[in-house]
Amino acid sequence: MNLYQYVGNNPVNLVDPLGLWTIGIGVQAGGGWVGGGQVSVGIYVGHDSSDSLSSGWSAGFLGTVGGGLYAGMGVVAGGFAAYSNADNVCQLKGPGWALGGSLAVGKWGVGLEKTGSFNYEWDPGYGGEGQHGGIKNVTQGPTGWTLSGGISDGKIPVEGHGFGTWTFGGTIGK
């Protein structure tokens, strides 16, 4: 068990006094059979508790695309509510992952995902002379949960998935 995971294994420089958070709501669609994918767009708000209540806020309109392994068969479209331990919305952007599943009863489905993003450094000189740069020092970033619900085609009532994701969009604030 890693007791310092919530601070990225850096308890000296990073803290989380149960106050760093982002929340989001939006719409999404996804599905698959053996392989699958998902797309979503939403509005997100975050607050860093190390700042006062009148500052430390961030907001953004973000989109996510993802794809990977899909156990089941079907298509679903609906809404979502998301929570993460990121201290600002900008930390949600970039590469990430999603592990989850859903259950359909008739034409209605509900799903739950554990999500995460990666911290990384872009080094223009990485790879040696004549190279265009690259990503280095990849570490686990903020993690969270997404609850979704919507209309399902009901082909197979249970599914599970593991996706690689990319989140993009505009943000304001800290």
pLDDT digits (tens, 9 = 90+) for 20-41: 688 999 999 988 888 999 999 9
**pTM over cut 0.85:** no
Q: In this structure, are residues 80 and 115 in contact, taking their beta carbons and an 8 Å threshold?
A: no
pLDDT on residue 76: 85
Q: In whole angstroms, what is the distance from residue 77 CA to residue 12 CA?
A: 43
The mean predicted confidence, pLDDT, of the chain is 83
Q: In this structure, are residues 78 and 150 in contact, taking their beta carbons and an 8 Å threshold?
A: yes
> φ, ψ for residue 7 (rounded to 5)?
-120, 25
Q: For the residues 95-114, what does the mean pLDDT come to? A: 91
pLDDT on residue 165: 95
If one compares 129 and 13, the residue with the highest pLDDT of the two is 129
Is the alpha carbon torsion for 5, 141, 97, 148 positive or negative?
A: positive
Q: For the residues 2-7, what does the mean pLDDT come to? A: 54
Q: Which two tokens stand for residue 149?
A: 């619900």
> φ, ψ for residue 158 (rounded to 5)?
-130, 135
pLDDT digits (tens, 9 = 90+) for 107-143: 898 999 999 998 877 777 666 666 666 777 778 888 9
Q: In whole angstroms, what is the distance from residue 164 CA to residue 48 CA?
A: 27
Q: Which two tokens stand for residue 73?
A: 């068969």
